[in-house]
Structure 1
Amino acid sequence: MTVFDATPCILGEGPLWHPGRGELLWFDIVNCRLHSASRQWDFPEMVSAAGWISQDEVLIASESRIFRFNLGSGTEETLCALEADNPETRSNDGRADPMGGFWIGTMAKAEANGAGAFYRFYKGELRKLWEGITVTNAQCFAPDGRTAYFSDTPTHQVMRVALDSHGWPCATPEVVLDFTAQGWYPDGAVTDAAGNLWIAFWGRGCVEGYTPSGEKLQTYDFPCPQTTCPAFGGSDFSQLYCTSAARDLTNDNPANGQTFAVDTPLKGRAEPRVLL
């Protein structure tokens, strides 16, 4: 394990290895900031997740909208509103799906029970998928695009749902992993090339792997308790990156909020391009 970037984030989230640029992007939600290893971009409201559109453009979810953003020029274009009429909520975890859509969750800034929802943005349309969610997390997808995973973190469960040929849910979600007995909190997640889930656990300081059938694979530990979201990247997608958070921690551990990288024998894959 190495410290990829020592910049402490209050709430690090949304790591994305941009395959066209060969670099990692990630967010500090509370500080309204997008990071890369070489620079940062500040916004007037909280931002939390991204998908890549082209070499220079990414789609970003914020507390009030989904917009396209040019990493070089800094220009932006709003694509749609995202609970813009509710100042109590913000965006949280999000990820592109293999069909070119983008899944994004919302939640209350104060984490009020049931105030959030999961959405999918696809070819210009934003559709609400499920509401009554408290902390939206873990959106990731089987490599063939026919299965999605997600979590309402306080439930301690990771859900699975079948998708149709256009990437829309076509069945009732079911529990695939249940950590209630352990009291564990699944946060962000990503799948590898084989379809295994790699989940960051808030409060455990780790990313842990599971097969689609629920068999535990391996644990990667990090030197901070609030691990938030993993991503695969590097030249062969065998590096596992993980963001973390320093929010509400009162100790003087300098690792809190840093972004980490670990070389693995795993094989990830490039994140899908968002189709507009």
Structure 2
Amino acid sequence: MSVINSPQYKLNNILTARARLGECPVWDSTHKLLYWVDIYNHRVNQFNSVTEQNIFFDVGDVVGSVALAGANRLIMALRHGLAFLDTQSGEVTPIIQVEADMPDNRLNDGKCDPQGRFWFGSMCPGKTQGSLYRYDPDGSLHLMETGLTISNGLGWSPDQKTFYLADSDQQRIYAYNFDAQTGNLSDRRIFLDLTSESFYPDGLTVDSEGHIWVAMWDGWCVIRFNPQGEEIGRIPLPVQRPSCCTFGGEDLQTLYITTASVGLSEKEIEKSFYSGDLFALPTEITGLPTYDFLG
């Protein structure tokens, strides 16, 4: 195991955001923009990596995740449904309701697969009533998994044969066989069991070598695992609650990391002063491309 953060790879605090719950960074390679959400402040942020300016859209609801959806458009998972966001006008257009009859649940992390389907999960801390869904470009919604507590980080292996899904409360990451053509999942197994740890797996990303990078909530770090689930690298962070990560930048070799301040006591904030800020780490490792929703 190596400490990835080193003198030649300097972790940078690129935005003093002080977000309550920063999450779901998404790289737009065409416009060199990083989209990310502040869930409880109802904000979809747009960070310009060239000018280092950040603007936000108030979408009027809890927003768990976003994904690119064509020119000047994002698809969002709001509290109880999906919607489109026009990134020029800020207009929100509802698409479909999801779990509107479950007031204790809300939608959470999401991502598009290489076939342009939007995957997203729901959560209910302490209860196994969260689920995983797939929303297809033809407008059909598919229930893919049930019995989750906090459906969280998700990603695909470079060969598109394996799908990963974190259940934060259960401190586990699952791996599934993935059929790229049909979008079906099978053979769920435990990829990573962290039940002996004091931290929780949150958002994740997969690099071009098939290694999985996981933001560890309450763990002060992002950890890199090989496809066998062995820890091979660790990025120490100056914040207690890293929440998600993704690769971006000109060559997909910059790791962007969102963080959170929600739920921290005054004492914890003092120790974790930069909580809620946005971080970037240059690496020599290349990430996978971001995929658009094709509907």
Instruction: Give TM class, smaller chain.
Output: over 0.9
Work out the CA distance in 1 between the residues paired with 2:180 and 2:253: 29
Work out the CA distance in 2 between the residues paired with 1:142 and 1:242: 20
Aligned to 2:179: 164
Question: Which deviates more, 230-239 or 98-107?
Answer: 98-107
Letter in structure 2 aligned against 1:42? D
The CA deviation at 1:167 is 4.9
The CA deviation at 1:249 is 0.9
2:76 alignment partner, one of 55, 60, 75: 60
Question: Which deviates more, 87-96 or 231-240?
Answer: 87-96
- 2:256 is equivalent to residue 241 of structure 1: yes
Matches within 5 A, 1:12-161: 12-37=22-47, 38-108=54-124, 111-123=125-137, 124-161=139-176
Letter in structure 2 aligned against 1:82? V
Per-residue deviation, residues 214-244 of structure 1 (Å, max 9, x unmatched): 2322111111011110010011111101111
Provide the aligned length of Structure 1 versus Structure 2: 274
1:263 alignment partner, one of 268, 279, 282: 282
- Structure 1 residue runs of 5 or longer lacking an equivalent are none
Work out the CA distance in 2 between the residues paired with 1:89 and 1:44: 18
Work out the CA distance in 1 between the residues paired with 2:83 and 2:160: 24
Work out the CA distance in 2 between the residues paired with 1:19 and 1:55: 12
- 2:199 is equivalent to residue 184 of structure 1: yes
Aligned to 2:5: none
Work out the CA distance in 1 between the residues paired with 2:103 and 2:230: 41
- Indicate if the aligned counterparts of 2:198 and 2:218 stay in contact, CA closer than 8 A: no
- Indicate if the aligned counterparts of 1:189 and 1:198 stay in contact, CA closer than 8 A: yes
TM-score, normalised via structure 2 length? 0.89
Letter in structure 2 aligned against 1:186? P
Q: State the Cα RMSD in Å.
A: 1.4
Letter in structure 1 aligned against 2:134? R
The CA deviation at 1:171 is 1.5
- Indicate if the aligned counterparts of 1:241 and 1:261 stay in contact, CA closer than 8 A: yes
* Partner-residue secondary structure (3-state), 2:184: coil
Describe the shift of the 1:224–1:167 C-alpha distance in structure 2 as closer, same or farther (beyond 3 A). farther
Aligned to 2:17: 7
- Structure 2 residue runs of 5 or longer lacking an equivalent are 1-10, 48-53
Per-residue deviation, residues 234-257 of structure 1 (Å, max 9, x unmatched): 111111011111011123343011
TM-score, normalised via structure 1 length? 0.94
Letter in structure 2 aligned against 1:269? L
The CA deviation at 1:183 is 4.0
The CA deviation at 1:184 is 3.4
- Indicate if the aligned counterparts of 1:59 and 1:67 stay in contact, CA closer than 8 A: yes
Describe the shift of the 1:4–1:178 C-alpha distance in structure 2 as closer, same or farther (beyond 3 A). same
* Partner-residue secondary structure (3-state), 1:30: helix
- Indicate if the aligned counterparts of 1:98 and 1:143 stay in contact, CA closer than 8 A: no
- 2:275 is equivalent to residue 275 of structure 1: no
* Partner-residue secondary structure (3-state), 1:155: coil
Question: Which deviates more, 52-61 or 159-168?
Answer: 159-168
- Indicate if the aligned counterparts of 2:198 and 2:219 stay in contact, CA closer than 8 A: no
Work out the CA distance in 1 between the residues paired with 2:102 and 2:28: 31
* Partner-residue secondary structure (3-state), 2:169: helix
Work out the CA distance in 2 between the residues paired with 1:254 and 1:242: 16
The CA deviation at 1:173 is 0.7
- Indicate if the aligned counterparts of 2:144 and 2:185 stay in contact, CA closer than 8 A: no
Aligned to 1:199: 214
